[in-house]
């Protein structure tokens, strides 16, 4: 995960001084190559200890490690596709195509970088072993939940993805330690999803979360934490990009589960064949 991805993902949870450092880093990253920790502190008008705490909050041992990470991120960015502005009301169709395409490419790349292989593999194991799976989310995330449940059902998994929160709670109330709850929340703060997690913990169910990066009211309950990205706050783009990121994660899980099991591949072939026969009638 690049330093820039970490900063963007954690930005809303930073203190005032940390946000100053974050904004300076994102806007003037190239200048950090020549700055000491004291130099960065002076440039942003904060204390040197604030710089150290900021770098540690991002997961680095100190400023030297942070500075190297920024240099690496700048080198990667030289060849990366950049988003050319937000979509506006005056954009023509060609501009819409270009901006949305570049936005989605950027979000997919950051989603890939923000999730580590170890967590991904652990999620696969929990899904594979689960007797029953409840997939929980509301709003736009509920659409992703339903899609994921369809995919897992094709592999022979018992999945529930009900849009009604009361029904979700009723189902998880009867779950046990052999069952899995997979929660999806773009913000990681959805009250209904948090309640599902609390009930799942009471019943000792395993939990996988798919939320924004970092600790949040939903992810703190999960044994495995996966992350999605919605880089822009634009009303026109944020939910679209969030679903793009969420769908990327669940598609990767589905493909990996299929790839890793001959039995699941046979089940998928069987379900596809049944649907194909219906279409031929």
Residue 2 phi, psi (nearest 5): -75, 160
Closest-CA residue to 189 (of 219, 231, 220, 217):
217
Tell me, rounded to whole angstroms, the distance of Cα 159 from its chain centroid: 21
Strand stretches in 103-255, DSSP E:
133-136, 159-160, 180-184, 206-211, 224-227
Contact at 8 Å (CB) between 130 and 157? Answer: yes
Q: What is the pLDDT of residues 201-214, one digit of tens each?
A: 999 999 999 998 88
Q: What is the pLDDT of residues 75-124, one digit of tens each?
A: 776 544 444 446 666 777 888 888 888 888 888 988 998 899 999 999 99
Show Cβ contacts of residue 232 under 8 Å, excluding neighbours closer than 6 positions: 83, 86, 103, 238, 241
Rounded to whole angstroms, the Cα distance separating 100 from 83 reads 9
Give the pLDDT mean for 41-59: 91
Calculated CA dihedral for residues 225, 227, 233, 237, nearest 10 degrees: -130
Structure tokens at 46: 């904060």
Contact at 8 Å (CB) between 218 and 183? Answer: yes
Q: What is the pLDDT of residues 148-195, one digit of tens each?
A: 999 999 999 999 998 888 999 999 999 999 999 999 998 888 999 999
| pLDDT surpassing 80 at residue 234 | no
Rounded to whole angstroms, the Cα distance separating 243 from 224 reads 20
- Return the minimum-mean-pLDDT range out of 103-107, 112-116, 126-130, 227-231: 227-231
Closest-CA residue to 226 (of 179, 186, 177, 264):
186
Residue 184 phi, psi (nearest 5): -125, 120
Contact at 8 Å (CB) between 140 and 163? Answer: no
- Describe the chain by its helix, strand, coil percentages, rounded to 5: 60, 5, 30
Contact at 8 Å (CB) between 199 and 165? Answer: no
The DSSP letter of residue 171 is H
Show Cβ contacts of residue 211 under 8 Å, excluding neighbours closer than 6 positions: 183, 184, 185, 186, 187, 188, 218, 219, 225, 227, 228
Q: What is the pLDDT of residue 95?
A: 80
């Amino acid at each position: 995960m690049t330093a820039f991805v970490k900063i963007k993902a954690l930005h809303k949870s930073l203190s005032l001084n940390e946000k100053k450092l974050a904004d300076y880093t994102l806007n003037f990253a190239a200048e950090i190559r020549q700055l000491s920790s004291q130099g960065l502190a002076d440039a942003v008008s904060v204390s040197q200890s604030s710089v150290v705490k900021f770098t540690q909050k991002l997961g680095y041992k100190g400023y030297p490690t942070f500075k190297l990470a920024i240099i690496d991120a700048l080198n990667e960015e030289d060849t990366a596709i950049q988003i050319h502005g937000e979509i506006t009301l005056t954009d023509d169709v060609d501009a819409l195509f270009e901006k949305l395409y570049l936005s989605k490419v950027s979000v997919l790349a950051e989603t890939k970088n923000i999730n580590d292989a170890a967590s991904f593999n652990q999620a696969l194991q929990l899904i594979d072993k689960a007797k029953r799976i409840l997939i929980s989310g509301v709003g736009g995330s509920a659409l992703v939940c339903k899609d994921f449940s369809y995919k897992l059902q094709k592999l022979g998994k018992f999945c529930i993805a009900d849009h009604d929160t009361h029904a979700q709670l009723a189902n998880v109330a009867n779950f046990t330690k052999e069952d899995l709850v997979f929660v999806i929340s773009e913000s990681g703060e959805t009250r209904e999803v948090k309640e599902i997690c609390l009930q799942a913990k009471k019943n000792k169910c395993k939990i996988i979360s798919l939320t924004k990066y970092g600790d949040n009211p939903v992810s703190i309950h999960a044994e495995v934490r996966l992350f999605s990205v919605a880089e822009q706050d634009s009303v026109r783009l944020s939910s679209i990009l969030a679903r793009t990121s969420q769908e990327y994660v669940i598609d990767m899980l589905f493909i990996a589960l299929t790839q890793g099991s001959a039995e699941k591949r046979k089940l998928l072939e069987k379900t596809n064949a049944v649907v194909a026969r219906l279409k031929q009638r």
